[in-house]
Chains A and B, each alone.
Chain A
């Protein structure tokens, strides 16, 4: 009797719980789906940022790979270039090229007479155009006295207008180009004298205050020298200390301290390394400021922890059986490590090293501290010459107010990203190609 009663009570309760659970199911399913959707949305948002970032940079950058050139019929008038008839290289270097250009420009627009107007007419040309002309004549000295059509770079404002990055609808007072200048430019375009060509200057020259003359060659060489120092120093030292810590170090307090220390160093803000470089390498050791040597030293200290941590985990993944076998046939510990363990761990170590180098290549904050932000026109030729690096060049250009630098900054970023993607791609390839599962 009582049993039956309890049974029915439980079964009633069972039914009730069952119904409760069932009633709650749609709500819980909806919640489940919502939760899943949030996750997906977040990933899409993250990837969306990536797409926006790249899209933004690329859309700004692509126009920088072209530069507007103007076709001028220049008469290499001997009475201007070589009035004394000396016919040597010296005269070709010091000749009055701006006068030649002014003459050709007035030939194009004979109606312009007023001084002010003439000046703005000549302003269509880049301030580097005389040098281009000089180089051209030095290469073709036979042209002296003849007339030749020469393609010369135009000023950045004109370049921007041709690339339609200056809004023509803005009121004249807010524009850098006045209406009459735009009329000249339109006439030049109609005559087929303005043409966009591949921007060789961008890859061939150093920094400049004029956007149309500025290039990344100097920064690229600076980055190359800096990375060279970093690689030469950080690779051997990083590999050596990974080997010591993983294979030889006795496990005691000291080793613990070194290990905690390395993990901490990997997370110290990069700017602090810049302070270290300033205080130690420049002020204490008196190494030359702004030089790739000091930059490389600072970046070495910064990348070492990355290389050491990657190196240790590569060594760790080599199974102990390899070591035991080598020791078993009489190899010394050093021989075991250098002949057997290290070759097996090398791909992993290299992967870590390349990733560390890629980080060093993109780093700019510590280099600001040691003076690699100077405005340097010359392409550096050695480790101790003042220079700048690609990321710092980007920072410098991003600070410039000229409209023409926006696209050049973006283009420099693209070049930097291309290097980084290549390096990381190489690291991934190495990992895929040589990865071994034991």
Chain B
């Protein structure tokens, strides 16, 4: 039986268990529900939970241990010389056997034939045993719960407690995600820094991660100085912010202070569409239209513009983050109390003077928070730079040249073949760590400023 079918079967059994529990409680109540501690349906839920949860637990444990146990016993059947192999070779052998079973390896090697047969039998056995055990667990749970139903049985409290655990567990997933990110990135980074010193990574000016695949190959040993990536990222992000901050801020001011309600209700959602367009679309736009356009424009002025110029990527990224700046700024400008504006008007200030000298300074922390969030978005943006920025790690501040970014390098290092013991692959995780830390600092700073500012006027 397939695992998904089994899961479905378990669900069906629990629906049945719900009815069993409900009916049982009604029998015990002898027609008077007030005799029961909880409503009959809670006895139903109680029985259903007892039917479902233990069987589910069994299923998960089985899934966790099935393949190691099977692999181990398959190895045991192999001849002596295969059993004494190193762990890596054993893994390869197991892979061979699995592939022959699924038919993707083509011809089965004769010496593995017995093992393949054995594996097939084991798999079938394991499946049937699991199905049998899980279903019997479900029924045992159901009958156990049914036998516990009494008049004073506090079913509701127990059901509610279980639900509470589920709610708590769900909210912990967010924490687990963060822990997972930190651990996965950190472990691989530590392995990386075991091979390449941290100082070289942080201060080295050379980035050429292509490492010789074979030891006898004549090639560079690879250089892992990430400074050109950092400057490239900063260059593109700064261009993006130079585009986005004035446009976003002025749009927000106009929408919040000048625009009529009708105009605002049309223009604001339209501007926000810019943030909802998938980044791969921007990347395509940047590579296909903007970059050649800028190149042509540069040629008209006699400038030599690279076809993967930082300017094109930055410009398009700037368009993308306009809404991040504008909608947060808009919120904060709206949050400035009307009394401040009235005070300025009473002193004879014009509207623009009020905005520039009263409203903006009052909303400044919030606006800065919004800009920081936009900056973190720009630094972490991937698809636009992968598609429109270059791969060559140039250490330059010239926006017309091609630069590469941290995210681009992560993608190029990890797409394709991966070897988890070469510094080339591990470098991607080290870059990921830097990226995570940088955006984390920006986010925490921004959220802190925003939160503090919100309290100020509430």
A interface list, Cβ under 8 A from B: 21, 28-29, 31-32, 35-36, 38-43, 45-47, 49-50, 53, 56-57, 60, 236-238, 240-241, 243-245, 248-249, 257-258, 260-265, 267-276, 278-280, 283, 286, 301, 304-305, 308, 332, 334, 358-359, 361-365, 368-369, 371, 373, 391-392, 394-395, 398-399, 406, 409-410, 413, 416-417, 420, 424
Given contacts A28-B353, A36-B254, A424-B276, contact A398 B174 (CB under 8 A): no
The proximity string for B residues 334-378 relative to A, scoring 1 for CB distances below 8 Å and 0 otherwise, is 000000000000001011110110000000000000000100110
Residues of chain B from 233 to 279 with CB closer than 8 A to chain A in the complex: 246-248, 250-251, 253-255, 258, 267, 270-271, 273-274, 276-279
Chain A residues within 8 Å of B228, by CB: none
Q: Which 8 A-B pairs rank lowest in CB-CB distance, beginning with the nearest?
A: A269-B380, A39-B254, A362-B278, A279-B184, A241-B171, A240-B170, A365-B382, A244-B167
Over the window 408-440 of chain B, the binary record of Cβ atoms lying under 8 Å from chain A Cβ atoms (1 yes, 0 no) is 001100110000100000001100100110011
Are A304 and B173 in touch, CB under 8 angstroms? yes
Q: A263 vs B178: C-alpha distance in the bound complex, in angstroms? A: 11
Which chain B residue shows the least CB distance to A60? B288
Among B274, B282, B284, B379, which residue has its beta carbon within 8 angstroms of that of A46?
B274
| Other A-B pairs, 6, CB within 8 Å; known A43-B271, A279-B185, A368-B415 | A42-B254, A46-B248, A57-B284, A276-B184, A276-B185, A304-B173
A365:B279 contact, CB within 8 angstroms = yes
Q: Are B171 and A244 in contact (CB under 8 A)?
A: yes
Count the A-B residue pairs with Cβ separation under 8 angstroms: how many? 258
**Is A53 within 8 A of B254, CB to CB?**
no
Given A39-B250, A276-B177, A416-B278, check contact A264 B447 (CB 8 Å): yes
Judge whether B377 and A267 touch: CB under 8 Å: yes
Nearest to A414 among chain B residues (CB) is B281
Q: Which DSSP category, helix, strand, loop or mixed, fits chain B's interface?
A: helix
Shortest Cβ distance from B447 into A: residue: A263
Complex partner residue of A271 from B170, B289, B380, CB under 8 angstroms? B380
Contact of B247 among A42, A237, A272, A398 (CB under 8 A): A42
CB distance B414 to A369 under 8 Å?
A: yes
CA distance A268 to B67 in the complex (A): 34
Distance in Å from the Cβ of A369 to the closest Cβ of chain B?
6
Across the interface, which residues of B come within 8 angstroms of A394, CB to CB?
Answer: 280-281, 284
Q: CB < 8 Å: which of A240, A248, A276, A410 contacts B181?
A: A276
Q: Is the CB of B160 within 8 A of A334?
A: yes
B132 within 8 A of A: no
* A41 surroundings in chain B (CB, below 8 A): 250
Nearest opposing residue in chain A for B412, CB measure: A368
B255: chain A residues within 8 A (beta carbon): 39, 43
- Is the beta-carbon distance between B280 and A271 smaller than 8 angstroms? no
Residues of B close to A53: CB separation below 8 A: 277, 281-282, 285, 319
Provide 19 A-B residue pairs closer than 8 Å at the C-beta atoms, listed in order of the A residue. Answer: A32-B352, A39-B253, A40-B254, A42-B246, A46-B251, A47-B270, A56-B289, A241-B173, A248-B168, A257-B175, A261-B178, A269-B381, A301-B177, A362-B278, A365-B411, A368-B382, A394-B280, A398-B387, A413-B281
User: Please, which residue of chain B has its CB at the minimum distance from the CB of A47?
Assistant: B270
B350 contacts A29, C-beta separation under 8 Å: yes
Would B271 and A47 count as touching, CB distance under 8 A? yes
A301 vs B172: C-alpha distance when bound (angstroms): 12
Interface centre among B177, B380, B386, B444 (most CB of A within 10 A): B177
CB of B140 to closest CB in A, whole Å: 27
Q: Which residues of B contact A271 (CB under 8 A)?
A: 380, 382, 407, 410-411, 432, 435
Contacts A362-B278, A420-B276 hold; do A278 and B383 have CB atoms under 8 A apart?
A: no
Q: In the assembly, what is the distance between CA of A283 and CA of B446, in Å?
A: 34
Q: How far is the CB of A402 from chain B (nearest CB, A)?
A: 14
Complex Cα distance, B377 from A359, in Å, reads 14
Max chain B Cβ within 10 angstroms of own Cβ: one of A269, A304, A417: A269
